[in-house]
């Protein structure tokens, strides 16, 4: 039975490899992963090669003389891609990966050369060319073995075992074809018996290997989804906290107080103007409370209304200057809602409120490579003097909302957010500078 290449034993192995090819190909169509794509094509080439002895039609036999050797080299090409994908060699050892990639394309070139040789010189010459190619194929195999051995992947050991087992079995069959049936091992089996056994054993090892590999990916995906769910819960909790702290209670209370004072003093126009701006601000804030991000344009519109209200309330008022880098698309740049307001409020009530004379706040926004940098600078009394003043006055204000803003920005942008507050006071000049750096994120 083992001497007859068309017997049930060999047919059973061909059928098993065909089923595995179909399984991996369907899995590729469903998931579009490179691993199953490369391995399914590799199995297809092996199945085509092992089916050559089934046919008795002279036309088919003649066709197989053209492809029987070439298709093996094409199979090895896809096998190298499979190994590269499984070991992630492009990222792990890029130089070796480039060499392996070049070797694999040489295999494709050699497969085409064999077809040309068959066309001009015939099958016997093609077999001799293949025999001369054995050293090159051995070097290529050693390269793949070295790449697998060097890989720290837990799957590389089993991949290496499968490769070596199949290579030894395939070479025994090849040598018997070139040297004769009784070369090396004199068993009552067909010369392709070793190739069949090697291919089938390798396919079983690799199928188990791919399943283990994909299971690991699935578990990582589940863990990532779990982490995402936890993060969403965290966002929901922070959102509730942020909703309560988006407008400082001091600001709301004092705004209502200001309206009351205008009414008592019979300043109807001032009261009406203040109420209009105040209601506009409240409406805009309520509009963005359910948004995770808004455009910088919307943020600046809200800030503009807030600034006008504070200018009406602040003693002797203050100047506000804004400069925006022309390369920044304010309508598309996504930011955390109301992230500027707490910093501007601190500048007004911790810095400028204690200062005599001209009071200025400057807001600058510009690009810094793939980041955005926001600078808020005031000419107030500075951080140190502000702390002393707040200790000795009953009107001391608590810094409000900055920590919440930072947490919300880190949820949106990750840990790339940097907020730095610097006291600019040097004896002659005073003031505070706030630097906010976050990634450029466009809609």
Whether residues 278 and 210 share a domain: the answer is no
pLDDT value, residue 57? 81
Domain boundary among 226, 256, 289: 226
42: CATH: 1.20.1070
Domain membership of residue 60 (yes or no) is yes
Name every residue whose Cβ is closer than 8 Å to that of residue 396 and which is 6 or more positions away in sequence: 389, 390
SS3 160: helix
426: CATH: 3.30.565.10
**Distances in whole angstroms, Cα of residue 85 to Cα of each of 29, 104, 150, 214, 236:** 17, 13, 14, 12, 39
Name every residue whose Cβ is closer than 8 Å to that of residue 312 and which is 6 or more positions away in sequence: 258, 270, 273, 274, 277
- Answer whether 350's CB lies under 8 Å from 342's CB: no
Domain membership of residue 59 (yes or no) is yes
Domain membership of residue 289 (yes or no) is yes
Whether residues 263 and 301 share a domain: the answer is yes
Give the single-character DSSP code of 431.
Answer: -
Domain membership of residue 237 (yes or no) is no
Whether residues 73 and 109 share a domain: the answer is yes
One DSSP character per residue, 289-346 reads TT-S-EEHHHHHHHHHHHHHHHHHHSTT--EEEEEE-TTS-TTTBEE-TTSSHHHHHH
Domain membership of residue 430 (yes or no) is yes
Whether residues 126 and 159 share a domain: the answer is yes
Whether residues 180 and 282 share a domain: the answer is no
Whether residues 385 and 317 share a domain: the answer is yes
What is the residue-level pLDDT of the chain in tens, covering all 443 positions? 677 777 888 888 888 889 888 988 998 898 888 888 998 999 999 899 888 878 878 888 888 888 888 998 898 899 888 888 877 778 777 888 888 888 889 889 988 999 998 888 888 888 778 767 766 666 777 777 776 676 666 667 777 777 777 778 877 777 766 666 666 676 777 778 888 888 888 888 888 888 777 777 778 778 877 777 776 666 656 564 554 455 556 566 767 777 777 777 777 788 888 888 888 888 887 787 677 789 999 999 989 988 888 888 776 788 999 999 989 999 999 998 888 988 998 888 888 888 888 899 999 999 988 999 999 999 888 888 877 766 544 444 444 467 778 888 888 888 889 999 998 877 678 889 999 999 998 87
Whether residues 334 and 185 share a domain: the answer is no
Please count the structural domains in the chain: 2
- Answer whether 192's CB lies under 8 Å from 11's CB: no
Other beta carbons within 10 angstroms of residue 53's beta carbon come to 17
CA distance 301 to 259: 22
Whether residues 178 and 256 share a domain: the answer is no
Domain boundary among 160, 194, 226: 226
pLDDT value, residue 390? 63
Whether residues 250 and 343 share a domain: the answer is yes
Whether residues 171 and 252 share a domain: the answer is no
Domain around 27: 8-226
Name every residue whose Cβ is closer than 8 Å to that of residue 333 and which is 6 or more positions away in sequence: 295, 296, 372, 440, 441, 442, 443
Domain membership of residue 234 (yes or no) is no
Whether residues 171 and 266 share a domain: the answer is no
Q: Which two tokens stand for residue 342?
A: 């707490």
pLDDT value, residue 398? 44
Domain boundary among 169, 194, 226: 226
Whether residues 259 and 398 share a domain: the answer is yes
- Answer whether 21's CB lies under 8 Å from 40's CB: yes
Q: If DSSP states are collapsed to H, E and C, what string results for 48-81? A: HHHCHHHCCCHHHHHHHHHHCCHHHHHHHHHHHH
SS3 385: helix
Domain membership of residue 388 (yes or no) is yes
Q: Which two tokens stand for residue 22?
A: 């179909």
- Answer whether 380's CB lies under 8 Å from 354's CB: yes
**Distances in whole angstroms, Cα of residue 213 to Cα of each of 67, 157, 247:** 33, 13, 51
* Separation of first and last alpha carbons in the chain: 69
Domain membership of residue 241 (yes or no) is no
């Amino acid at each position: 039975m083992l001497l007859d290449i068309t017997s049930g034993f060999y047919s059973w192995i061909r059928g098993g490899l065909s089923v595995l090819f179909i399984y991996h190909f369907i899995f590729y169509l469903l998931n579009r992963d490179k691993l199953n794509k490369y391995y399914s094509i590799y199995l297809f080439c092996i199945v085509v090669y092992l089916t050559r002895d089934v046919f008795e039609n002279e036309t088919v036999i003649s066709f197989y003389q053209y492809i029987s050797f070439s298709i093996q080299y094409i199979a090895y090409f896809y096998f190298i891609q499979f190994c590269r994908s499984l070991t992630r060699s492009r990222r792990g050892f890029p130089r070796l990966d480039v060499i392996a990639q070049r070797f694999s394309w040489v295999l494709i070139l050699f497969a085409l050369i064999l077809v040309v040789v068959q066309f001009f010189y015939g099958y016997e010459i093609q077999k001799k060319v293949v025999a001369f190619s054995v050293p090159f194929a051995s070097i290529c195999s050693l390269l793949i073995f070295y790449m697998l051995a060097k890989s720290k992947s837990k799957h590389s050991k089993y991949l290496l075992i499968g490769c070596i087992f199949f290579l030894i079995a395939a070479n025994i069959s090849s040598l018997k074809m070139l040297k004769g049936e009784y070369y090396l091992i004199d068993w009552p089996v067909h010369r392709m018996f070793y190739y069949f056994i090697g291919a089938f054993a390798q396919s079983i090892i690799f199928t188990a290997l791919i399943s283990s590999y994909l299971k690991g990916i699935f578990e990582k995906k589940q863990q990532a989804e779990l982490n995402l769910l936890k993060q969403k819960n965290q966002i929901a909790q922070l959102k509730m906290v942020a909703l309560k702290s988006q407008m400082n209670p001091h600001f709301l209370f004092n705004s209502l107080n200001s309206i009351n004072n205008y009414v008592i003093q019979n300043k109807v126009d001032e009261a009406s103007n203040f109420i209009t701006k105040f209601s506009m601000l409240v409406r805009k804030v309520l509009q963005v409370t359910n948004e995770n991000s808004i455009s910088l344009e919307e943020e600046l519109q809200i800030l503009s209304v807030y600034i006008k209200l504070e200018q009406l309330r602040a003693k002797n008022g203050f100047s506000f200057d804004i400069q925006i880098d022309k390369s920044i698309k304010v309508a598309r740049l996504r930011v955390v809602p109301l992230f500027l307001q707490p910093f501007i409020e601190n500048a007004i009530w911790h810095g400028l409120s204690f200062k005599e004379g001209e009071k200025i706040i400057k807001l600058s926004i510009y690009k810094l490579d793939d980041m955005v940098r926001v600078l808020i600078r005031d000419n107030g009394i500075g951080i140190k003097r502000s702390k002393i003043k707040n200790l000795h006055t009953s009107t001391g204000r608590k810094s409000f909302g900055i920590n919440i803003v930072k947490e919300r920005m880190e949820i949106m942008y990750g840990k790339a957010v940097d907020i730095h507050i610097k006291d600019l006071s040097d004896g002659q000049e005073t003031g505070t500078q706030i630097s906010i750096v976050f990634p450029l994120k466009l809609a």
